[in-house]
Amino acid sequence: MRYGTSPDVLRDISFSLAPGSFHFLTGASGAGKSSLLKLIYLAQRPSRGEITLFGQDVGRAPRDALPALRRRIGVVFQEFHLLDHLTVFDNAALPLRVTEQRTDLYRSDVSELLQWVGLGARLESYPPTLSGGEKQRLAIARAVVNRPDILLADEPTGNVDHAMALRILRLLVELNRMGATVLIASHDEDLVARSGMPVLHLDDGVLTRQPPRSAPGRDTAPS
């Protein structure tokens, strides 16, 4: 992958994510983590090569086929991307609203999801009144409200303290146990070690697989 005429941001990368797997994506700032996620959630197309999602070569798929594929992918953005003029409930329900589903058909499910992520008492609040951890959990709720097959998270713990980071990790692990394939881009080495999950590591645009890391003497977050 490259931007315009610049050198390749990602090169010679080949990997697969098994359905129901959980991986961390690590690497220094500028290594290409966000660019790789953009390729997976179809915000960018590869400059060459191919990407296969759900049995389809999405690099060559027609544009009108992409929205249906994107609905099977949940994304938690690093900067949240919440809409300040919408309530917590409406932010979480936004992916359902854009498909023109009636509110009465999903109100109870969205309310239950927000209760599950610890925002049950904040349904009518607005994003500017939320803490960083609450905003992150709302972003996760919005990403999974459609029950996606793949959940991508770009530095989901980068704006919260350590205790909240572990809580968010537990949420993501639980979503994985419910069937979602999870890929988390993170520079938090301690969190990666605590998770006990396998790692995809980017270094200067090249990807390598690494075994799960360990944090000796510490309890792991998923336990």
User: Tell me, what DSSP letter sits at residue 212?
Assistant: P
- Asked if 72 contacts 148 with a C-beta cutoff of 8 angstroms, the reply is yes
Using CA atoms, how far residue 207 sits from 9, 14, 151, in Å, is 11, 8, 20
Using CA atoms, how far residue 107 sits from 73, 96, 143, 147, in Å, is 21, 10, 16, 15
Distance CA 193, CA 24 (A): 10
- Asked if 15 contacts 191 with a C-beta cutoff of 8 angstroms, the reply is no
For the stretch 136-190, pLDDT in tens is: 999 999 999 999 999 999 999 887 888 888 888 999 999 999 999 999 999 888 8
Q: Look up the pTM and report it.
A: 0.88
Report all structural domains of the chain as residue ranges with CATH numbers, in order of start: 22-44+61-210 (3.40.50.300)
For the stretch 50-100, pLDDT in tens is: 899 998 888 788 888 888 899 899 999 988 999 999 999 999 999 998 877
